[in-house]
Amino acid sequence: MKEIVLQTLKESVRVKESFVKKNLDSLIAAARHLATCFASGHKLLIFGNGGSAADAQHIAAEFVNRFVVERRPLPALALATDTSVLTSISNDYSFDEVFSKQIRALGKKDDIAWGISTSGNSRNVLVAMQTAREMGLYTLGLTGCGGGKLGRCSDLALNVDSRTTARIQETHITVGHILCDLVDRILFPESFMKP
């Protein structure tokens, strides 16, 4: 059992380290896009299914409340949290439209649509990203398994080079934390100055 635990840790660290080394410039670019979005009075719409929905909620909470430093709230919405909206769209139209209809209702040009899919092929995420692009939102894709269709339809794609869902999800939340930290450092540098 101990060997399994240690092997899991070793693999998780390896996947994260490999991702960061391959995507360092893209992570910085994503942070700059997010910071520009917030600084210009726009918002982040973030979404995914299952564990990715939970990651979207987690990341949105870090922006709205705070990450590490005290600062003003940043406008981020997780689109998988309103059960009435999700079930009405799924019932009346299609589950494929649960995020795209919310983007049509809430999104504005120059907002950011951040889609999360471990496979890169979640249909409702892809439909939402297409809607976002048509409306002039910047699209950020967070994916795995080679990127899938999400990697190809995003303005900026961050792909975790793994086919193991757990390792992809562990890296996704690390990416979320890295981006929260970088955005705070860009927007609120005074909070990081030593007294």
Mean pLDDT of the chain: 97
Is residue 194 in a domain? no
pLDDT given for residue 182 in this prediction: 98
Digit-coded pLDDT (tens) for 87-110? 999 999 999 999 999 999 999 999
pLDDT in tens, 33-56: 999 999 999 999 999 999 999 999
Q: What is the pLDDT of residue 54?
A: 98
Q: What is the pTM of this model?
A: 0.95
Instruction: State the pLDDT at residue 4.
Output: 96
- Asked whether residue 195 is domain-assigned, the answer is no
Strand order in the sheet with 44-48: 76-78, 44-48, 112-117, 138-144, 156-160
Domain membership flag for residue 54: yes
Contact 80, 53 (CB under 8 A): yes
- The token pair at 131 is 């809607």
Can you give the CATH number for the domain in which 111 is found?
3.40.50.10490
Question: Within a 10 A sphere around the Cβ of 104, how many other Cβ atoms?
Answer: 14
The count of domains in the chain is 1
- In this predicted structure, what is the pLDDT of residue 193? 80
Residue 152 in any domain: the answer is yes
pLDDT in tens, 122-133: 999 999 999 999
Domain that holds residue 175: 2-188
Q: Is the pLDDT of residue 195 over 80?
A: no
